[in-house]
A and B are shown apart, each in its own frame.
Chain A
Amino acid sequence: MSLVIRAAEPGDRRALELLLTRLMREHQAAFPDAYPHVVPEEAAAHFADGYLPRLVLDSRLVVVLAVDRAPVGCLVGEVVTRAVGQPATVCFVEWFYVEPEARGGGIGRELVRMGLRLLRVHGVTHIECQSVPGDRQWARRGWVETARRYAASFEHVADWAQLEEVGHAPR
């Protein structure tokens, strides 16, 4: 077998869809209550379709595949620019996955190396990613938590807002 790490091409749409489906299934098995809820097959097809036209035209989209006869891993990142705050332009890692059977061989690191090479032209100084609360893998690797996102149902927010109006203490 020969492992190839390379930038994804339009012909890799199906491979991307398969890998993203497996990633989301594995993630949902580990974190079944993750919010928002997605259907892995539907979401993977949607994202793969969205990436397809951009693979050639948009250098801000960085998609790297690990292929060992069949695709075994992928890294998808995007160069994004925020309106306020520094650094303004960063790479946000959307998906990062290596098949369970292929783990432990350094494929993840090779994907990251290739991704960093593709990012050089953008002058990015920081990489960002998100995980669900309780997923400690990024903290273990030295990544620093910069924000935490919260959600509440409309009823919860409305309830809180109206309580004060009648003089109740917050719950």
Chain B
Amino acid sequence: MIRPAIFADVPGLRRLYAALVAAVGPVVYPAPGADDLDTFTLLAAQRIGQDPRCLVYVATDDDTGALVGFLGGELSERALGDPRIFCAAHWLYVLPPYRGHGVARALVARGCADLDALGVTHVELAALPGDPQWAARGWQPFLVHHALPLAAVLAGVAERPAVDPHSPTAPAAPAPPAPHKAPRKKRRRRRATPRPRLIAGGRA
């Protein structure tokens, strides 16, 4: 069964989120924090059923009623740009034994029904670098997120001193002229023998 999440689902969502994080494996950046699971739980408890922008759906086992998958996202609005209102999808996860039965698509279809009613025209998500699944499904990449440690940024701006030709700190005196050389007579250059090209480790 697919339905919107309610407050009572928070413990089950916590278990699913932990399983999702474990399934994704180690993420280099941003690295998982010790408090992430608690923070996720707290945010879920605060927003589910309270914040109309928070869109969370769960899939339950028809026999046991246990949560077996979830889709989480939110309605977002950018200050400028088209589309201004969009859905930011954050999580989509189905427990391995329940995969291959259309649970994920059913979750997405349920979310789409609400988005349709809200007039949302686009959905956006973030994926790890090198994850090809969204491009394979026809999603278009539109932003690449980069990070660099502060120390590396500092080293980058220090490695080449700034040279401002207009700066008053630049040397006031002109550089000494280069020693005068008599112009060399132009000679017709003989075409040199073509140098051998390196092809696949050997000389052609």
Question: Footprint of B on A, CB under 8 Å?
Answer: 1-3, 34-39, 42-43, 46, 50, 68, 82-88, 90, 105-107, 109-110, 112-113, 116, 119, 124-133, 135, 138-139, 141-154, 156-158, 160-165, 170-171
Contact = CB atoms under 8 A, between A and B. Distances in A.
Nearest to B88: A149
Interface SS, A side: mixed
Given A133-B141, A148-B126, A164 B105 contact: yes
A127 B162 contact: no
A83 B43 contact: yes
A1 B166 CA distance: 6
Contacts of B150: 116, 119, 124-127
Interface of B: 27-33, 35-36, 39-40, 43, 78-83, 86, 102, 105-106, 108-109, 112, 115-116, 120-129, 131, 134-135, 137-150, 152-154, 156-157, 160-168
Contacts of A133: 141-144
A35 B139 CA distance: 12
Nearest to B120: A154
Contacts of A82: 30
Given A131-B144, A149-B124, 16 more contacts: A1-B166, A2-B168, A37-B81, A105-B162, A105-B166, A109-B157, A110-B164, A128-B148, A129-B146, A132-B143, A138-B146, A147-B127, A148-B128, A148-B141, A153-B121, A162-B109
21 contacts: A36-B78, A36-B83, A39-B80, A46-B80, A50-B79, A82-B30, A85-B30, A90-B147, A105-B163, A105-B165, A106-B160, A129-B145, A131-B143, A132-B142, A148-B143, A148-B144, A150-B126, A151-B86, A153-B123, A165-B102, A171-B138
B56 to A, nearest CB: 15
